[in-house]
Structure 1
């Protein structure tokens, strides 16, 4: 429906809760004055920017309440309009509502994700149920439904163009899916359930964040043997930041992964591994299992209340896949080949360990360590050989250059010109190289720190639309790379560089969007990751490597021989990466594709992994007790399959570039942008993909990329689902 109600409300309630690190000084203005700065038209250059330097936490309750009051008044004016419902006075009027709320949630989302101290977390816990109830009351108002249904019923006779007709249909379908046809008693029950879920999401975030704030301290440097010097220096900086003697290993993937890959101290590897995979699952005050069980129970209640068999059916009703069984079918096409590859990888690693006389059986904390030994033996390739060539600043320049070659976007740093929420944040002006037109601003928050939730994500503080006058985009990327010691360059792994390009793909999607109606901006969950996954492909192209993968000391480009080794090992360890991800996606779907809610998540996880034959030598990428994608909001629940669904389209899309003989082919890039990136959800994404590729995506492109056997059955199975 209206952008604010169906998009901003969800994202506001979905924000993960992190911990403290304010960049600005306490604002001198009153809380009321600060609140106005948040929700009123932003001032400054580039059509106005968030006033991070002039506001503080205390202002948000007033800002949220003021924005809610205005939005309620806007809805009331539409609901009580005495004129016959029309596209202009109903659907279009709803599209124009909620500007204040957009601005408030854009800034509040950063506080809850990047800057949340105890005060912010308490505020989120208090306001999340209130906001949920507020939005439910708006969308369940029978007067709004009546007006939208009136237009919907007459849509064929109103002279609407294709986009207007689609907006009318999506407005009506969205209201019905959200419960607008329920009777009053059922609506009241739905509001209660949604409010309880909002509170539980905050509880889950609070507990998980508390576990992620823990860290390990090493006092004997000998225990860090094998770790790169630059990484050890960053651990020392982390200790100094916390005023701790020794070296601090924070409980994040950016620390866990390098330790498991490089540390020769097996006891340290196991300690770091167990700390990381047991987040939220320690039978203490921060254990999330009971919270998850409550969430699952309420989700199933809501699904049945809304007329859906399971939560998975509810969540997938507005996706490309449509049916949970269809998503499971794709995952199970890939799973057996991935497990078979893991068995081969483990055998290779065990052989190395045995040859060394290590006297051990490969365990999860050994997998990355011994896989690096196998990589070295098979391809004469050491990850630590690669890292000196991957400087973060240079990789950022490379991804900007790629965007210019493909889409005519130009990025120029202007850090210091506009306010930021933390000193680590850099900003860039984005222009169209051909026209000189300002497209927007790009905010880059690269480093892990206390006060920032784990993972990597992209957000927009202001999204594009033509309705009401063209407006530019304020896009952001948030990563958790290890911050280097003072004066040292930030060196990132190849995996980190892929993450960098991935998140930038989301930003490009925002910057290149060109739609009229904001209600047609948001794409289905199983399409969202597609543009970002496509963008990863340009990282390892010769042009980017030759120009931006330069040694941080000598400035020399990465040697051709090293690039050759990287390319030769392209499918190396694909069993591990596929099983690690896919196990999480399968468990997610099985968790939500059932009518009886799981009461013991820990036991369910184990039983499900046993059932599908999960190799014992590795763990799922996100165990249930820490699976923020699923339990910090509804966002990716019954939707983690989306990465594989999107990668199937991504692999097939990249094949189109490769088949042309030029991966920088501008004709294909232009078609990709015009057909898929710029069009939001103006047409069914299934149809848009077919318009781009001339057919449904071929699963074999994905299997080939991962080095798995190609099957005729897989090739003949279309991934996209027709709407019916």
Structure 2
């Protein structure tokens, strides 16, 4: 719904290149705010390099004014409320605000500056109030309600019916039926929650960037692969520390350090720095932010008639209730924990082989697990990396999409870029028409938040003449950077991540809806298109296409492919347990019925994970003070969604494997038609059953993760 467009806004970055090449040059002294005119760029993408800080502020303010006038026009018209003059008109409103929000939100995540962080804090309460002004507009809701009550007599099609139903429900869930006094409380809570979420994310970025491990003794680099050492040397040079090596808390730096560094004391130091982000008692400490956020969310839930925040959040998702979420997590937890304990025995055996007597700690797991994996399967990740050059992996993802859906990707030049390092492609459908524009932004930097995600600078839609508006999609990652004389070589996990985010991209490119209010899908369904795409990444038939040695061009040897397949499920105990731990933590926080004034959120974390007997060597994938998925607002009471969707994606891919053809054209067509195209027009489970013909079986997930235990 339109009232949600201002969520999760932060900062964007200035890019200074001239836009004259794109036909957008202005006369001297007559500069125009790029957001206030139609873009004249190729494919109508945002003119990123022209945008200045002040442009965002002006466009946001004008966008709110414009949408307010549009809402007033809907309310004041004398005609009897109907679908077009009320529901569709509301869906169309806020075009300028949506335009600037998408660019600001996208740039915020990957290219922030102090000026834009300050601007996002300034705008946050204004946008929250604007959203509430719409959702709590009594006259507007009265018109919506009148249309809703007469829906059976209006001859609406399926998409229109869904938009009407979702619009009505959104108003109710946004407080339209509350008393005037309670609506005022809700406004205050929404503003407070938005600012706390924003503060949490900014603190996390500050904490991640604040730490660096500087090594000046080459002996301390023992065990580290040459590519990582070269990258650390480059980072040091960039920071004026020529001749030294710098390791950071960005995943491409810290994770391989924990995996390979022989120096146990340094592994401990960087591990503790990583797992204590936001928990250091400084001005970026997030403990108080979390407590206040939990308190505000619970107060909002109670105001809306729910006993806890999770019940409010889950009502519109596939899971529906906290009990169903816990039922799934509990079904997987025990076999995952048992597998993790087996892996711990292997790790302890490697420590003994190493001539040491200590008990493994968190900073030992990845290091000795790598040794155990090599001992069991004779495979080392560094053997794999030379065959996973970044651009080759990207081409592998393109190849799978072409085989499945008949689409093609054409690199574009002389295009506006969200960052100078970005790549851009035109996606061409099998009928030759442009399906959309796709950006990639692959490498970490201080101005980019961690992780990987897929976003949109312009969603798919239709104009007033019925012409399809092509989407502008962006995929953002934090992969290992290239070094002097060597391209970016990915780990197997990074290659899988690229396929994952590309799956989200395909979902955005294929979506075909007429109303933005039905473009989205439930949070616990949205990971299905991304996670199923991972299944193709290491299929031998796909590896033959893209896994080529970056120096020799030689295909990945068959023996190495076999080793990858055999070792693929090893380590799923750790991976599953650390993920489930975070999912339990998220749910336990948001099923609380009261928040003590003196609540110690780290003590709560220890208690909630301790009662499930989490191994001390495995921290939650995200600890409370840097758990941006839930505290930042995107996956609040929803981090379970990945494993929920994995039940779907494993079962969905099972249809391909059962058919004996991983590129089965009939199944690919069904997946595109029923999963990727309809947005949220259909119920999520109905969409899945339309594709698969039945509800999913959790067995496929357990098999995929190597956790399957046949019933005795």
Q: What TM-score do the two structures reach when normalised by structure 1?
A: 0.94
1:101 deviates by 1.3
1:719 is aligned to none
CA deviation vs aligned residue, 1:418-470 (integer Å, no higher than 9, x gap) = 111221001111111x3210112111100001211111111011111235331
2:38 is aligned to 41
Is 1:61 the counterpart of 2:60? The answer is no
CA deviation vs aligned residue, 1:290-313 (integer Å, no higher than 9, x gap) = 010000000001001111111101
Distance in 1 between the 2:588 and 2:274 partners?
24
Please show how residues 184-263 of structure 1 align to structure 2 within 5 Å. Answer: 184-214=180-210, 215-245=212-242, 246-263=244-261
1:506 is aligned to 504
Question: Cα–Cα, structure 1 residues 303 and 712, in superposed 2: closer, same or farther, change >3 Å?
Answer: farther
Is 1:339 the counterpart of 2:337? The answer is yes
1:15 deviates by 4.3
2:263 is aligned to 265
Distance in 2 between the 1:34 and 1:113 partners?
27
Distance in 2 between the 1:24 and 1:601 partners?
45
Distance in 1 between the 2:641 and 2:216 partners?
43
Match of 2:365 among 364, 367, 379: 367
1:553 is aligned to 551
CA contact (8 A) 2:14 2:49 kept: no
Is 1:150 the counterpart of 2:146? The answer is yes
Distance in 2 between the 1:528 and 1:285 partners?
35
Question: Cα–Cα, structure 1 residues 188 and 30, in superposed 2: closer, same or farther, change >3 Å?
Answer: farther
1:567 is aligned to 565
Distance in 1 between the 2:325 and 2:451 partners?
24
CA contact (8 A) 1:39 1:103 kept: no
CA deviation vs aligned residue, 1:193-229 (integer Å, no higher than 9, x gap) = 1111111122212211111112221112221111111
Distance in 1 between the 2:302 and 2:360 partners?
45
1:244 deviates by 2.3
Deviates more, 1:486-495 or 1:141-150: 486-495
CA contact (8 A) 1:35 1:62 kept: no
- Cα-Cα RMSD: 1.9
Distance in 2 between the 1:289 and 1:614 partners?
22
Please show how residues 194-593 of structure 1 align to structure 2 within 5 Å. Answer: 194-214=190-210, 215-245=212-242, 246-415=244-413, 417-432=414-429, 434-466=430-462, 468=464, 469-593=467-591
Distance in 2 between the 1:588 and 1:315 partners?
12
Distance in 1 between the 2:561 and 2:524 partners?
33
Distance in 2 between the 1:578 and 1:32 partners?
59
Question: Cα–Cα, structure 1 residues 560 and 33, in superposed 2: closer, same or farther, change >3 Å?
Answer: farther
Question: Cα–Cα, structure 1 residues 354 and 34, in superposed 2: closer, same or farther, change >3 Å?
Answer: farther
CA deviation vs aligned residue, 1:488-518 (integer Å, no higher than 9, x gap) = 2100100000111111111100001111222
Distance in 2 between the 1:482 and 1:35 partners?
39
1:527 deviates by 0.7
Is 1:624 the counterpart of 2:624? The answer is yes
Secondary structure of the residue aligned to 2:120 is helix
Distance in 1 between the 2:105 and 2:649 partners?
29
CA contact (8 A) 2:590 2:637 kept: yes
Please show how residues 695-710 of structure 1 align to structure 2 within 5 Å. Answer: 695-710=694-709
Secondary structure of the residue aligned to 1:453 is coil
1:643 deviates by 0.3
Secondary structure of the residue aligned to 2:42 is coil
CA contact (8 A) 1:386 1:494 kept: yes
Distance in 1 between the 2:152 and 2:553 partners?
63
Distance in 2 between the 1:30 and 1:544 partners?
51
Distance in 1 between the 2:287 and 2:550 partners?
45
CA contact (8 A) 1:9 1:132 kept: yes
Is 1:159 the counterpart of 2:161? The answer is no
Distance in 1 between the 2:562 and 2:601 partners?
45
2:611 is aligned to 611
Is 1:671 the counterpart of 2:670? The answer is yes
Question: Cα–Cα, structure 1 residues 17 and 455, in superposed 2: closer, same or farther, change >3 Å?
Answer: farther
CA contact (8 A) 1:481 1:496 kept: yes
Question: Cα–Cα, structure 1 residues 21 and 622, in superposed 2: closer, same or farther, change >3 Å?
Answer: farther
CA deviation vs aligned residue, 1:631-654 (integer Å, no higher than 9, x gap) = 222x20100000000001011011
Q: What TM-score do the two structures reach when normalised by structure 2?
A: 0.96
CA contact (8 A) 2:404 2:665 kept: yes
1:610 deviates by 0.6
CA contact (8 A) 1:204 1:632 kept: yes
2:126 is aligned to 130
Secondary structure of the residue aligned to 1:443 is strand
Question: Cα–Cα, structure 1 residues 169 and 467, in superposed 2: closer, same or farther, change >3 Å?
Answer: farther
Deviates more, 1:108-117 or 1:386-395: 108-117
1:625 deviates by 0.3
CA contact (8 A) 2:215 2:245 kept: yes
Deviates more, 1:237-246 or 1:182-191: 237-246
1:66 deviates by 0.8
Distance in 1 between the 2:96 and 2:77 partners?
22
2:169 is aligned to 173
Secondary structure of the residue aligned to 2:639 is coil
Secondary structure of the residue aligned to 2:424 is strand
Secondary structure of the residue aligned to 1:621 is coil
1:638 is aligned to 637
Match of 1:79 among 59, 75, 82: 75
Secondary structure of the residue aligned to 2:535 is helix
Question: Cα–Cα, structure 1 residues 699 and 563, in superposed 2: closer, same or farther, change >3 Å?
Answer: same
Distance in 2 between the 1:25 and 1:304 partners?
52
1:5 deviates by 2.3
Distance in 1 between the 2:191 and 2:140 partners?
21
CA deviation vs aligned residue, 1:496-543 (integer Å, no higher than 9, x gap) = 001111111111000011112221111101011111001111101122
1:34 deviates by 6.3
1:21 deviates by 7.2
Residue segments in structure 2 that go unaligned for 5+ positions in a row: none
2:684 is aligned to 685
Is 1:70 the counterpart of 2:66? The answer is yes
Question: Cα–Cα, structure 1 residues 704 and 567, in superposed 2: closer, same or farther, change >3 Å?
Answer: same
1:717 is aligned to none
Deviates more, 1:350-359 or 1:681-690: 350-359
Distance in 1 between the 2:349 and 2:180 partners?
66
Is 1:647 the counterpart of 2:646? The answer is yes
1:58 deviates by 2.2
1:32 deviates by 11
